[in-house]
A and B are shown apart, each in its own frame.
Chain A
Amino acid sequence: DVVLTQTPPTLSATIGQSVSISCRSSQSLLHSNGNTYLNWLLQRPGQPPQLLIYLVSRLESGVPNRFSGSGSGTDFTLKISGVEAEDLGVYYCVQSTHAPLTFGSGTKLEIK
């Protein structure tokens, strides 16, 4: 199974600070069809996850553009350019290139 290693496990940021979360895969997430099926999700406390980014870098409709995704192969990054209070929660990367689908262990973002 593909292992997704997220770092850091926790992140403490002030409002307006820019932060990055890393997601490293144990094998390449490039599919034979040329797509890389890597999503970023945010789960706010007591809520279901919500989609932020899909196909590594495509911003989901309605998601603020302070969120951006980058990377290729085995290394991926989610960046938040100017954290806002509503961004607190747990961020997960998830891959669906390889079966079984796997999630990262999560990065908890706290607001100072």
Chain B
Amino acid sequence: QIQLVQSGPELKKPGESVKISCKASGYTFTDYAMHWVKQAPGKGLKWMGWINTYTGKPTYADDFKGRFVFSLEASASTANLQISNLKNEDTATYFCARRHYYSGSFDYWGQGVMVTVSS
């Protein structure tokens, strides 16, 4: 069956880096874009950007340019999100979600990764 399985929760200090993975299974990885969504505690959903799983080209929302990097391990059907120089405001749950290139449907989501940044 189709699954997006994300890595486990992270506890980091300000200034550190974190890498979150999203492993896809049950479908052809390159047939769908992979998007990243942030949800701060008790808040709504915020789009971070996406990566073209066919070309590897990332696109970042304005608020996520600079410290955020999307990457692929295509051979492993895995998308990664790396955040450097962590700040307290990066404390959130991060979701990966696949989007069909033609229908625009966000039909499968990872379970989310809680990242806590605290000194």
Contact of A60 among B47, B104, B105 (CB under 8 A): B105
A residues in contact with B47, CB < 8 Å: 94, 100-103
| Segment among A10-18, A19-27, A34-42, A73-81 that sits at the interface with chain B | A34-42
A37 and B97 alpha carbons, distance in the complex (Å) = 16
Assuming the contacts A48-B112, A49-B95, A49-B109, asked whether A94 and B45 have C-beta atoms less than 8 A apart, the reply is yes
Assuming the contacts A48-B109, A49-B109, asked whether A92 and B104 have C-beta atoms less than 8 A apart, the reply is no
Instruction: Assess whether A55 is in contact with B45, with CB atoms less than 8 Å apart.
Output: no
B residues in contact with A96, CB < 8 Å: 99, 104
Interface range, A side: 20 to 34
Total interface residues on B, CB under 8 Å, equals 22
A54 and B95 alpha carbons, distance in the complex (Å) = 19
A51 and B110 alpha carbons, distance in the complex (Å) = 12
A3 and B76 alpha carbons, distance in the complex (Å) = 36
Assuming the contacts A48-B111, A49-B95, asked whether A54 and B105 have C-beta atoms less than 8 A apart, the reply is yes
Instruction: Assess whether A51 is in contact with B107, with CB atoms less than 8 Å apart.
Output: yes
Closest chain-B Cβ to A70's Cβ sits at a distance in Å of 17
Instruction: Assess whether A103 is in contact with B106, with CB atoms less than 8 Å apart.
Output: no
A residues in contact with B50, CB < 8 Å: 101
A106 and B106 alpha carbons, distance in the complex (Å) = 16
A residues in contact with B99, CB < 8 Å: 96
A50 at interface (Cβ–Cβ under 8 A)? yes
A7 at interface (Cβ–Cβ under 8 A)? no
Closest chain-A Cβ to B18's Cβ sits at a distance in Å of 19
B62 at interface (Cβ–Cβ under 8 A)? yes
Given contacts A35-B104, A48-B95, A92-B45, 14 further A-B contacts (CB under 8 A): A39-B104, A39-B106, A48-B110, A49-B95, A49-B109, A54-B103, A54-B105, A54-B106, A60-B105, A90-B44, A92-B44, A103-B46, A103-B47, A105-B44
B residues with CB within 8 A of A:
35, 37, 44-47, 50, 59, 61-62, 95, 97, 99, 103-107, 109-112
Closest 5 CB pairs of A and B: A54-B105, A37-B104, A48-B109, A101-B47, A103-B45
